[in-house]
A and B are shown apart, each in its own frame.
Chain A
Amino acid sequence: MTSSLRYPLLFSPIRIGPVTLRNRLVFSAHLTNYAEDGLPTAQHAAYYAARAAGGAGLIITEEHSTHATDWPYEKLIHGYQPAVLPGYRRITAAVHRHGTPIFAQINHNGGQASGMYTRLPVWAPSAVADPLFREVPHAVDEAEIEEIVAGYATVARHCKEGGFDGIELQCSHSSIVRGFLSPATNLRTDRYGGSLEGRARLLLELLQTVREAIGPELAVGVRLCGDELIEGGITIDEAVGVAEMVERQGCADYVNTSIGVATATLYMIEASMHVPPGYASFIPSAMREAVRLPVVGVGRFKDPLQAERALAEGHCDLVGVVRGQIADADFTRKARAGRAESIRLCLSCNQECVGRMGLNRWLGCIENPLTGRESAPLPSAPAEPPAAPSAPATAPAPPARAAPGALRGTRRLVVVGAGPAGLQAAIAAASRGCQVTVLERTGETGGCIRLAARVPNRAEIGDLVRNQLRECAELGVEIELGLEADLEEVLSRKPDAVIVATGSRPAVPPWAAAVPPGKVVDVRAVLEGTAEPSGEVLLVDELGFHQATSVAELLADRGASVEIVTPGMVVGQDLGITLDLEGFMMRSAAKRIACSTDRVVMGVDASGVTLLHHPTGVEETRRVDWIVLAVAPEPEDALYRALKEAAPVCSLQRVGDCVAPRRAHAAVIEGARAGGTV
């Protein structure tokens, strides 16, 4: 079936002011941390160009700052400096090469910032400290407002000179404009505060100024927040009111939307897999009823069908798909070609995209090792992963799918283990022309990921395996299940190369080893279904990620009374990085999961489990029916050692958890590197 039949609305053109888009899919603005010294880099250009080549209808860059008082995170683009121009031209030329329009988002983050980098006071409508940055800002006076407006004009001119097709004013989730619009942060009593008209005054002044600065040839849009999800903040009715004012003024060509405040309710802006797709569609929907301007909808649209449906249901005129195109730059092209099944679906795991942003690291993707390395040169197949690269933002690049390093003559590769590391190694090697066989001990592919996908609302993590299997199938990788590959088995296949990806095995802490078996089990046993803890369950978490919290929810849903204990200061600490912690806190309260921190297990005996509260040295006892362990596993490296001992009959590498048990992104990257250098 052709795309015009499958997704007729998605692939219909649309005009945004002076710009015509070939389809409705927008690669909306998002941070990348690719900037260096305040300037856009070659990586920016390559990153956006890859999505343009992949067919995106419109690309909107990450924000460009409009003023020297604005520098909330280190790798911000300082759009007010003329030095950005060469970088702008490099980006726009690279994107235009594919016939794709590109807009620049311009912004001043206002009070949602600190003086860490500027060593200046932060500027905001009122002296209200932001909940994340925690710095009391300086309430700007009218002269300073004029300076802000002038900054927008300067940056708008830079964008025009730099070849952009349009400009978007971010007024939504982290912006001085949001600060002025929101009654929570605008306490002014002058003409820039009070009524909605007063609070919107700055926005309208900025729009007018930007339009005057760039003339009619470029598109101008605003991104508005439909609900800040904070006390006393903007909600949908006021947001629609603002959209109406914007339309009435006549300077803007479109309205983009968002939900939440970046520094208070980020977990709803970049929602994880726990939040249903299209969750924010009520916002564009309400705006579209009120204004005739084209409206962009966003909110975890992860496949073309969802996007098409949002258009068909009239929620929006365009659909923002960001993470979907981070995971697969060819998202649009594949949808258009009727190959939507081949799209590497985003998991909304937030581990390597969103999760790295807050940590000041370059944007990547758990399942797409090329993301973040679009500009990196291909490595010359080293035997071992090379040492640290000289490029700032990048580690050694795994080879591209259509690898120029394709092999002459066929080589036989045996991969042992069909978890994410093994499958990615198979994909990388097969795409270079290797004949690949994957041997898997169990009856299923996917390793730990399969297990991780079995808990409530975490099924989408399993798309990682689905995506890999799809690629394996397309590349003709053979997968043999239920085969325990020992040394003899591997050697009997006379491989030219072996990649060991045998994963990890649960470890038993010394205190648990003394307990009679049965009532102390690893989370994996629960997920595999070989143990069914019930009654009073103590979940011992030394990992701090989904392993404990998701199994706790699973068991609580089944009626168990669950307590999670951790030696750390926070239960599920790393869920904060993926924006899952807030949701877990709400659900765990509802499910009555007890969370106890700062406690280590000292032992188990007939009287119960002894816990030590280590800050005070106080011991506590828990009487429980089951103990479930989420503790550091051990590498399953016996086969690797055996192969290494055996004469080096072939090239040998190991990848993923059998090197050191870590999270999925490490498995994928190592698999890609190893498969790419067979």
Chain B
Amino acid sequence: MTSLADPLRLGLLTARNRIVFGPHETNLGRRRAISERHVAYYRARAAGGAGLVVTEEASVDGSDWPYERAPLAAECEAGWGEVAAACHAEGALVIAAIGHSGGQGSSAYHQQALLGPSSVPDVVTREIPKAMEAADVEAIVGAFARAAASAVAAGADGVEVSAGQWSLLRQFVSSLTNRRDDRYGADHLLLVEETLASVRAAIPGAVVGLRASCDELAPWAGIVPETAAKHLVRLASYPRGPLFDYVTVVRGSGYATWATRPDAHTPAAFNAELAASIRGALPASVAVVCQGSLVEIDEAEALLSAGKADAVEMTRAQIADPELASKIVSGRRDRVRPCVLCNQLCQVRDVRNPIVACIGEPRSGHETTDPDPLALAAPPAPSVRSAPAAKAVIVVGAGPAGLECARVLAHQAREVVLFEREDSLGGMVTRAAARVPGRERLASLVGWLENECRLAGVTIVSGHELTLEELDMHDGPVVCCTGSRPGRRQYEVVAPGAAVMAADLLAAERLPGAGGPGPAVVWDPAGGPVGVGVAELLAALGDRVVLATPDFVAGAELARSGDLVPANTRLARAGVEVARHSVVRGVDGSGVTVEDRFSGSRQVIAGAVLVDAGYRLPEDSLARALAASLPPGSVQLAGDVVAPRTIHEAILEGRRAALRLAGAR
């Protein structure tokens, strides 16, 4: 039986294991080049044991500029070389992803017409590409070969050609977009075949991979798994040998861009059967890599042992824990920081150019600026003046900020006592966030933090609200991670009308007041996962639910994680009414009054309870009291107590507080 730790043959080369760090957008580039930030990012995964590192897809020529920092092959050679050198030194193979986005690109940067097989507008941008002329097609085939040659000359072990979701090659294969009347219309696979053949010829002996959308989720005209299998068989049975050494099976098209790398609302390992069908059709001479929310190690292992795939792309899992592969190989699976599939920071196709990062591992993407918190774990050499033993640290509040702070401090060999008012740890994550449908995995992150704290020797005292008097007796640093409290109400509440905070509702899992569920209005000025999730929970109870949003769509902020379209679809299917561009004015005995922002017209949702998914305020009473009684600088604050935000800021600031204390030892 094949296991994740087994070597993988790819053409003439062998990867040390079957764990792949797949290609993805990072915004780490400098202009359109692979940067030193990329090098550090990939090196960390190679050092963490990845078998194969596939770099961020580079456009094969200047007619493609899909996002501002999209790498361009002509500017990547030096960067590819540095990535290859860095990762080879750590034992990983390096593959350069190359591609062309075609009609799914952007004309905003080069201000030229997009290229596509036909004049069919992109579903998302509605932009119409230029239907490529024969010379355009020929140029693209040549550009692929040149980019491949450049990557391999730089030191890469091969290339991965994109016929995935965002790709010109897929657009040629698909009848959704290919309406040509020339030979590329008669044979939709021809361009892929010609491209792979020319890439093969350009890099003899190197690995050629193919990223292929094998299900466009648009069966009326799109690629379906059966056609994908036939296509791949044809490419693998090319007269002069297979045109690719491995294929990474993905899904999605312009009609379902979200479906390629969805968040946790989609079950993990969703491509397992798709990959298995491709594996079953192809000869053993080519490898099949499964992609798609592979974050559970057992699940990935099972895929291989069942022969459904030969390797797994565990990309987000390695963003969350760069050492995933080495922990798997060395039998430390229980120590892997889990990926919770939130897509909150690692999905970066966003015009603001955010840098790839991770809520649980804020150093990801920031390897060149952030210290590795555990690399300092060895106590420093005694200074000239023999320092007294560092004083114990009290961390107040065991939400993600407090847990991360305690974890890092304990790794610095500091004595840490972590106090939590509630019986269970995890703060708002456990009590509220992880109770939102589709966000349950968040609990595993605080579970991991708790376990790491215990292993590192943190003393945890839960179910105890620390008083100022108790803290007075403590002679050492205090880190205040006391979280948040309900925010201000921007509307009137007149009894018997009732308003409840979303966090309290999630903690209680039922509406207050009336005997059972009744109509509810969820007021969501934030547009994040909470408002949508609470509406879904309430709708599942069967009564009328209205989600009131100031925006034009529900969950407007979910665009970043890719859940915007799915969330609105779920709400529609659940029968949730969305009061768009609206504000809540008040709740009283007759119900909840909702006002349209533009027309000013009001409606009353009869008998409804108001659920407020709005902003919260810092729970800073302890911090203020301490600041008043202790010398300046002796209290550190982290997370929501500074300003209520997300898990990311909590963990980042918890870690920073620990590192500051460690530095101030």
Contacts and interface: CB of A to CB of B under 8 A. Distances in A.
A134 B572 contact: no
A126 B112 CA distance: 46
B126 A659 contact: no
Interface in B434-464: none
B49 interface: no
Interface in B21-62: 31-32, 61-62
A400 to B, nearest CB: 17
Interface in A388-403: 388-390, 392, 395-396
Interface stretch (B186-194, B209-217, B350-358, B404-412): B350-358
Interface residues of A, number: 58
Contacts of B550: 131
Contact of B615 (A136, A359, A590): A136
A581 B580 CA distance: 14
Nearest to B615: A129
B127 A388 contact: no
B110 interface: yes
Given A361-B109, A586-B599, A589-B596, A387 B581 contact: no
Interface string A128-146: 0101001111100000000
B421 interface: no
Helix, strand, loop or mixed for chain A's interface? Answer: loop
A385 interface: yes
Contacts of A116: 352, 354
A58 B652 CA distance: 45
Interface stretch (A210-218, A310-318, A660-668): A660-668
Interface stretch (B161-169, B232-240, B321-329, B637-645): B637-645
B573 A616 contact: yes
B108 A356 contact: yes
Nearest to B565: A569
Contacts of A127: 615, 617-618, 643-644
B257 interface: no
B417 to A, nearest CB: 26
Contacts of A570: 552-553
A89 interface: no
Contacts of B62: 386-389
Contacts of B597: 585
B68 interface: yes
Interface in B457-476: none
Contacts of B65: 388
A392 B553 contact: no
B352 A74 contact: yes
Contact of B130 (A387, A659, A669): A659
Contacts, number: 149
A616 B557 CA distance: 22
Nearest to B618: A127
Contacts of A73: 352
Interface stretch (B113-121, B280-288, B540-548): B113-121
Interface in A39-77: 73-74
A635 interface: yes
A238 interface: no
A555 interface: no
A136 B644 contact: yes
Contact of A615 (B68, B131, B573, B581): B573
B227 interface: no
Interface in A92-133: 115-116, 119, 121-122, 127, 129, 131
Contact of B598 (A135, A586, A598, A660): A586
Contacts of B113: 659-660, 662, 666, 670
Given A74-B353, A387-B61, A543 B126 contact: yes
Contact of B119 (A387, A573, A615, A660): A660
Interface of A: 73-74, 115-116, 119, 121-122, 127, 129, 131, 134-138, 356, 359-361, 385-390, 392, 395-396, 542-544, 569-570, 573-574, 576, 581-582, 585-586, 589-590, 598, 613, 615-616, 632-635, 659-662, 665-666, 669-670
User: Which 9 pairs of residues, A with B, have the shortest CB-CB distance?
Assistant: A387-B62, A388-B62, A589-B599, A585-B598, A615-B572, A395-B111, A615-B569, A660-B130, A138-B643
Given A73-B352, A660-B128, 12 more contacts: A74-B353, A119-B362, A121-B645, A131-B525, A387-B63, A388-B61, A396-B110, A542-B126, A615-B568, A634-B119, A665-B111, A666-B111
28 contacts: A74-B352, A115-B645, A119-B362, A121-B643, A121-B645, A122-B643, A127-B615, A127-B644, A131-B525, A134-B526, A136-B643, A138-B618, A138-B643, A360-B68, A361-B351, A388-B62, A569-B564, A582-B598, A585-B598, A585-B599, A589-B601, A632-B119, A632-B120, A660-B128, A660-B130, A661-B119, A661-B128, A666-B111
